[in-house]
Structure 1
Amino acid sequence: MRRLFLPALTVVPLLLAGTPASAAPARAGADETPRAVRAAVETPSLFDDAAGGDADADDPAIWVHPTDRAGSLVVATAKNGGLRVYDLHARQRQAIPTPPAPGPDDEAGRFNNVDLVTGFRLGQRRVDLAVVTDRGRDQLRFYRIDPATRRLTDVTAPDVPYAFSRDQAEVNEQRTAYGLGAWTAPDGTAYAVVSRRSTPEVGLFRLVERAGRVSYRPVDRLTLPSRFALPDGTSWSPCTDPGDGPQVEGTVVDPATGVVHLAQEKVGLWRTRLAGGRFVGAPVAVERVREFGVPAAFDPEVDDCVTDHSADPGFGGRIAQDVEGLTIYQTGRYAGTLVVSSQGDDTFHTYDRRTGRHTGRFAVVDGPVDGSQECDGAAVVATPLPGFPGGLLVVHDGRNTPETPGGDGDARPDTNFKFLDAGFLRAGR
C-alpha cells in the first residue's frame, strides 16, 4: 500500500492553468445574497437524546429504482440511531440499528456517512449496495437494496477489517472511518474513498466479495496538508481540538472521470483523481474557507476554537467553516454542478463540475417546511422523479424547527432531512 504525503504548500483558489501560487482567492460570492430555494417535504424528526435513541441525522444518499421511479428511496445515516430509509414522500420505511459494541469497554457502532454502489457482483447476480462508514467500530458496512421489497439487508462479511486502526484499543480512540465517497471504475471494480476522523488522512479501499458477503481491502492512502505558507511569508494551521488534525468529511467521486472532491472542513475544497486503483497526482485546492489564514486558538474554558477576526489577513475564500456535504448534479456525461455545503453560514455554493468555476450560491429557506441550517450531508440526482421533475436534492437540517420541548422544558436536539426539486441547479445562476 503506497502512502502519499504532501508537504506544506500555498493553495490556489481555482483549478485554472497558470494561476500563480501566491494569488489571493476571489471572495466574490461570500457576501452576495444567496438564491432562496424551498423544500417540498421533510423527514420525521430525529432526536439526539435517550428518548430518541440518540438519533442524529447526518448524511443522505438517493437510490433510484431501476424500473419504477416512484419506488426510489433515500438512505440516510442517524449516527447512533443507525440507518433510516425513506420514500419520496419523506416517510420512514425502515430503521436499521448499528452493530453492538464488541466488548463492555468498547465503542458501539455509529453510522456517519453513506453512499451507493450499483451493479456490484455478489454471487451470481448484480446488486445495488448502500455503503456506510461505521465510525464507532472503524469499519465499512454494506446493505443490499432489494428492488422488489425496497428493503435493505445487511451483507457485510463477518470478518471485515478495521479501516485505519491497528487494534480495538486504537478503535476506541475514535480516529476512525468518517467521510465516504463510492466509485465504480470503468473495469467494474468498486472503490470507497474514506476519510479518517480527527486527521487529514484519506484512504482508498477496494470492495470485494467474500463467500456471498461484501468486504474490502486498503489499496492507497493520502494525507492532506495541515500547515500552509501564506502569501505574506507567514504560515498558518487551522485550529482544531488539541492533538487533532484538520479532518475531511464531505467526499464525492465524479462517476465519469474518477475526480475526487474532498471537503477539508477547516481548510477548503480539494480535488484529486483516481486511476488504476490509486490516487493520481497531488490534490489541488478548488476553494478556501473564509477563515483561511485567520489566527485562531483552542480555548479550554469554552472547549472550542476562538478566532481573531480582527486579524484577518484577507486570504480567505467563499465558504464559511465548516466545508461539509458534497454532491454532483450530473446533467450529462461531463456536464453538471458540484454542490458544496457552507455550514458556517447555512448556505450552499455551486461549482462547474468540469472546471471548478464558482457558479452561484443558494440557501434552503422556510417554505412548506422549515429550511436547512448547519447542513452536514447532501445528495442529489438529476433523474426526474415523481414530485421532483427536475431531480431530487436532499439536504441535512442540523437545527430542525419548530422546536419540540423535552421533559425538562428545554428543546430536544432535533435533526432531519429536507427534499427539494433540484431543477434550479440545472438553470444555474
Structure 2
Amino acid sequence: MQKQITRAAALLCILAAAAAHAAHAADRIALDGGGALSLDKHGLQLTDAAGKELARLPMRAKQLDVRATKGSGIAVVLDSDTQHALPIRVDLRRGELARMAPLPQQPFGLEGLCLFRDQQGLDFLFVAAKDGQAEQWLMHGATPQLVRRLSMPPDAGQCKVDDARHTLYANEEGVGTWAYEANSEAAPARRLLKVGSRLPAAPAASTAVVVEPRAQTMPVARLGDVADDPAIWVHPADATRSRVLGTNKKQGLMVYDLQGKQQQFLDVGRLNNVDLRQGVNMDGKPFDLAVASQRDDNSVVLFGFDADGKVAELARFATGLPEVYGICLFQPRSGALEVIVNDKGGAFRQFRIARSGEAWSSTLAREFRVGSQPEGCVADDRNERLFIGEEKRGVWTLAARGDQPAVRKMVLGVGRDLHADVEGMAIYEGEKGAYLIVSSQGDSSYVVLDALAPYKVRGRFKVGFNLAEGIDGTSDTDGLDVTSKNLGGAYAQGMLVIQDGYKRMPDGPQNFKYVPWEDVAKALKL
C-alpha cells in the first residue's frame, strides 16, 4: 500500500530535524537555476549545477534559508558568534555572494529566523527570540524595514514558511508546531498542528491580483479598531480639492484632503458607517448631504457641506433600532433622498429625508430584515437597486425605493470568491459599465462584479505595499468607497478609498488608503 506523507507532517519533520542540527552541521538548499547554496563550519558556499564552487563567504553560522528565482535572490543565516541575522544577496549567474545591509541590532538574542516571499514578490524575514519576542522585516531596498512585531513560542529554535499558503510554522517544545498567518497585513492568529494532520485545502478561488496604494491618510487618533468607513465628496469647481470622510468608531468624523492630510474632525460620538450624495434637491434648493450611523444614541446623523467641502452637523433622527450599525443613501430618479440603516440583529429601516424651511425631518418608508448580522450596503441610483451585505452569507439585491416590496435575491454568496465577513460596498459608475466592489474581509481581498444582472464576477484584487512611497497595503477592511469622477493626476479615472485594519511599516493606528481606479481596471482588464 502506498504511503502518503501529508504536507503538515512533512513540515513537522523539517522543523524537528532543523532543531536537532548541531551548530556546525551542513545545510544545503538547491537553487532553481541548477546550483546550490551550502552552509558548513567553514562558511557559506555557492556552487553551480556540477558542484563547482563559485563563491564563498567565511563565517560561523547556522539556520540557512533562501528565497531565489533562477538562482538569484536572498539568503539569510544566524551568526553563531553574535546571534544576529545576516542577510546575503545571491546571484548564481554572476557567481556572487554579497552581504546586504544588516538589520538594526535587536534588543534580544535571536534563536530562530526564516524567510517569506509574498504574492507581490516581496521578501520578508522573521526573527524570533528565546522568550517569544518576534519581528517581521521587509528585505527590499537599501535598508531592511521593520513591518510589525509579533509573538512566537518560547524557545522556537527554528521556523519555516510555506509561501504558497502564506503560513509560518514554529515549534514549541513539549507542545507541538504552531501555524501562523505570514502575511504582515493579516490579523494575529495561530493554530496548533497535530503530527500527521492534513493541512486544510486552499480554497479554489480565482487569483487576486495586486495593486498598490498611491497615498494614505493620516492615522486616526486612537489605537485599536477605530477607523471604519469612508465616503468621497467631489469639489464642484476644482476636483483636486475634493475631500474624503472617514468614520472614527470611538470619536466622530474625520475629513481628509486628497493627499491624506486631515482637514477637519467633528467630535459627534461613535460613528460606524458614512455615505453621501451631492446636488440633492431639498425644498427647492440643492444640498450636498452625508449621513452616518451613530451608535451612542442609535440615531442617523445628517451632515451638510459648504462650497469648499467644510462639513457641519445639520440634524439627528432616531431610528428606533436597538443597535444601529450600517448605513447608506439612495437618491431616487424622482429626486429627494432616502437613508437605509440596519442593526446587528438583521433589521433594516428605510427613511425619507425632507426639509421644510430650516427644519429637517425623516419619515419611515419601509422595514425588512435578513437572517443574521448585516452591515455594508450601497444603492445604485441609476438603476434603483439596493445591495446589502449579510456578513456570513453574502450579497443580496432588492428594489431600492422605499415604496417597493423588499424582495431579495442573492447576488454573490460567501464561498469561492467572497470570504466572510462581507463588509464595505461601493459602486463605480463608468462609461463601460457599473461595477460593484465588495470587501471580502476574510481574506483581505476585494471582489469586483457587474452591478447589473447576472452580476458576473470580473475579478478579485488585493492592495499591496507601495515601497517607493513607504505605504503598506490593506487588510481586514471594513468600509470602502469609490468615485468615477476625474480627481486629477493618478485619479483621472476615479479613486478607491479603502479602510486598512492593520497599519504596518511600522505598526500604528489605523488609516485609509487611496488607490487609483485606473490601476484596478488595468489589473482586472475591465
TM-score normalised to the size of structure 1? 0.70
Quick check: 2:436–2:449 contact (8 Å CA) kept in 1? yes
The residue that corresponds to 2:288 in the other structure is 128
Q: Encode CA deviations 1:188-236: one digit per residue, 9 max, x unaligned.
A: 120011111x211111110111541433121101112x2xxxxxxxxxx
Cα distance in 2 for residues equivalent to 1:213 and 1:194: 21
Cα distance in 2 for residues equivalent to 1:213 and 1:70: 33
**Identity across the alignment (%):** 30
The residue that corresponds to 1:146 in the other structure is 306
Quick check: 2:399–2:406 contact (8 Å CA) kept in 1? yes
Cα distance in 1 for residues equivalent to 2:203 and 2:520: 17
Name which of 378, 399, 403 aligns with 1:278: 403
- Specify whether residues 82 and 339 from structure 1 end up closer, same or farther in structure 2 by C-alpha distance, changes over 3 A only: same
Q: Encode CA deviations 1:364-383: one digit per residue, 9 max, x unaligned.
A: 01113100010000100111
Instruction: Determine if the alignment matches structure 1 residue 262 to structure 2 residue 405.
Output: no
Name which of 381, 388, 401 aligns with 2:504: 401
| Other structure's SS at 2:442 match | helix
Cα distance in 2 for residues equivalent to 1:194 and 1:273: 15
**Larger-gyration structure (1/2):** 2
Q: Which structure 1 residue ranges, 4+ long, deviate > 2 Å from structure 2?
A: 28-33, 119-125, 277-281, 424-429
- Specify whether residues 382 and 161 from structure 1 end up closer, same or farther in structure 2 by C-alpha distance, changes over 3 A only: closer
How far 1:40 sits from its partner (Å)?
0.5
Q: Encode CA deviations 1:340-399: one digit per residue, 9 max, x unaligned.
A: 100010101110111211110000011131000100001001112123122110000011
RMSD over equivalenced CA pairs, Å? 2.2
Quick check: 1:110–1:137 contact (8 Å CA) kept in 2? no
Letter of the 1:189 partner, please give it.
A
Cα distance in 2 for residues equivalent to 1:362 and 1:385: 22
Instruction: Determine if the alignment matches structure 1 residue 389 to structure 2 residue 484.
Output: no
Cα distance in 1 for residues equivalent to 2:473 and 2:362: 38
| Other structure's SS at 1:423 match | helix
Q: Encode CA deviations 1:20-60: one digit per residue, 9 max, x unaligned.
A: xxxxxxxx9953331100000101112434xxxx8811000
The residue that corresponds to 1:172 in the other structure is none
Name which of 112, 120, 142 aligns with 2:272: 112
- Specify whether residues 82 and 55 from structure 1 end up closer, same or farther in structure 2 by C-alpha distance, changes over 3 A only: farther
Name which of 55, 58, 67 aligns with 2:228: 58
Count of aligned pairs: 319
Quick check: 2:233–2:309 contact (8 Å CA) kept in 1? no
Quick check: 1:346–1:363 contact (8 Å CA) kept in 2? yes
| Other structure's SS at 2:510 match | strand
Q: Encode CA deviations 1:267-299: one digit per residue, 9 max, x unaligned.
A: 111111123x32435101111113xxxxxxxxx
Letter of the 1:191 partner, please give it.
E
- Structure 1 spans left out of the alignment, 5+ residues: 1-27, 99-108, 166-174, 227-245, 291-316, 405-411
Quick check: 2:206–2:459 contact (8 Å CA) kept in 1? no
The residue that corresponds to 2:450 in the other structure is 352
The residue that corresponds to 2:256 in the other structure is 86
Cα distance in 2 for residues equivalent to 1:112 and 1:151: 20
- Specify whether residues 223 and 123 from structure 1 end up closer, same or farther in structure 2 by C-alpha distance, changes over 3 A only: closer
Cα distance in 2 for residues equivalent to 1:121 and 1:265: 34
Q: Encode CA deviations 1:150-202: one digit per residue, 9 max, x unaligned.
A: 2111111xxx442024xxxxxxxxx3222111111111120011111x21111
Letter of the 1:266 partner, please give it.
K
Name which of 330, 338, 343 aligns with 1:183: 330
Name which of 316, 321, 325 aligns with 2:424: 325
Name which of 239, 245, 258 aligns with 1:69: 239
Cα distance in 1 for residues equivalent to 2:288 and 2:397: 27
- Structure 2 spans left out of the alignment, 5+ residues: 1-201
How far 1:137 sits from its partner (Å)?
1.1
Quick check: 2:333–2:381 contact (8 Å CA) kept in 1? no
Cα distance in 2 for residues equivalent to 1:111 and 1:279: 29
TM-score normalised to the size of structure 2? 0.58
Higher relative contact order (CA 8 A, sep 6+): 1
Cα distance in 2 for residues equivalent to 1:95 and 1:202: 29
The residue that corresponds to 2:78 in the other structure is none
